[in-house]
Structure 1
């Protein structure tokens, strides 16, 4: 999928829309650099199909948050997940 505008005004011009959509959860979670955030925001303002997908992802994230707000993971599960994350981080840093 691509916007196909070719105007030179899009900061992500030449970037396939699939890359923007691949990173949309990083954008939603505030896990991007300020520069990348600005690029994604500008792209979403100009690209209707990407904005529609973003809106769906945003709604899904809000629904999951509402549905799971009163739930807490058992301590054993949280410990296991944190141990796995630590292991993966260690493997990546090697």
Structure 2
């Protein structure tokens, strides 16, 4: 997607923003990490721009699948082996 082909929206400072600017903000938007003004700007862009809305839907779906997949915890024996390996690497790095 060319950012020149898809320029929409205006930032609070009055600058025209491209789709690339919004695509960078999608993750923060999904995680509710934007302030109210930025959320409104991103939402307005998504309401107007099909390609960005599809990217948003894809990111939202991936995030939901990952969240569902992360509900399981590793067995204690595996966790202990992983921690042992991490400590061994930390020791080698600090030496």
Same fold by TM (over 0.5)?
Answer: yes
Partner of 2:36: 34
Pairwise CA distance, 1:54: 0.5
For structure 2, list consecutive stretches of 5 or more residues without a partner in the other structure. Answer: 84-95
Could you list the structure 1 runs, at least 4 aligned residues long, displaced by more than 3 angstroms after superposition. 10-13
The structure with higher relative contact order (CA 8 Å, sep 6+) is: 1
Pairwise CA distance, 1:47: 0.3
Larger radius of gyration: 2
More strand by share: 2
Pairwise CA distance, 1:32: 0.4
TM-score when normalising by structure 2: 0.65
* Count of residue correspondences: 73
Q: How big is each residue's C-alpha offset from its partner over 1:38-66, in whole Å with a ceiling of 9 and x where there is no partner?
A: 00000000000100100000000000000
Cα RMSD of the aligned pairs, angstroms, is 2.4
For structure 1, list consecutive stretches of 5 or more residues without a partner in the other structure. Answer: 78-94
